Amino acid sequence: MILCAFFTALIAIGAFIRIPLPITVFTMQFIFVLLSGLILGPKFGALSCILYLVIGLIGFPIFSEGGGPAYLLKPTFGYLIAFAITSFIVGLMRKKVGTDSIPKLFVICLIGMFITYLLGTLYTYFILNFVAKTPTPYWACVASLFPVVAVKDVVSCFVSAATAKKLSKKMIL
């Protein structure tokens, strides 16, 4: 449980560790989400992400733009919801595949990235079209991720895979 709380804190802190890029900002948050699943496994990885969501929705300003229940109406909140699902699936896949190679872990992380993008863009589309009443085609929600956001997240996947491989030698869970 201590590691679960630790990863909740890392995910929150990761939202504020920012490296500015020309079009977007690189944060450590997605790396910590992937690592939560890879290191803690499906249940505790997802739990660490769920705790992050609950703490933010209660009102603590741990999301990149604040916190509180109104955050549910932000088009990007779907990506935060997707974090818990991504962490669970990444953890589950690591259990099935094992820990023997960075390439396998990298592919698992890429699948997690796809899941995050799918759920995040669907939520964005729903909020923009049905809540904000701003007609936006789904392809525009997807196109907003490419190329810069996707490239930085592929880098995050590689960093997560390499880190998980290194940490798995040091940790016994």
Query: CA 131, CA 128: separation in Å to the nearest integer?
Result: 6
Q: Domain range spanning residue 132?
A: 2-170
Mean pLDDT of 51-74: 96
Mean pLDDT of 62-75: 94
Tell me, what's the pLDDT at 21? 74
Query: CA 76, CA 72: separation in Å to the nearest integer?
Result: 9
Neighbouring CB atoms inside 10 A of 152's CB total: 18
Query: CA 140, CA 129: separation in Å to the nearest integer?
Result: 12
Tell me, what's the pLDDT at 170? 65
Tell me, what's the pLDDT at 105? 97
* Confidence class for position 32, pLDDT limits 50, 70, 90: very high
Tell me, what's the pLDDT at 168? 77
The domain total for the chain is 1
CATH label of the domain that carries residue 45: 1.10.1760.20
Number of helices followed by number of strands (H, E) in the chain: 6, 2
Radius of gyration of the chain (CA): 16
Whether residue 173 has pLDDT greater than 60: no
Alpha-carbon distances of 65 from 42, 47, 71, 143, 166, rounded to whole Å: 27, 22, 9, 22, 32
**What confidence tens digit (pLDDT) does each residue in 93-135 have?**
999 988 779 999 999 999 999 999 999 999 999 999 999 999 9
Q: What is the mean pLDDT of the chain?
A: 93
| DSSP-assigned letter for residue 69 | G
Tell me, what's the pLDDT at 125? 97
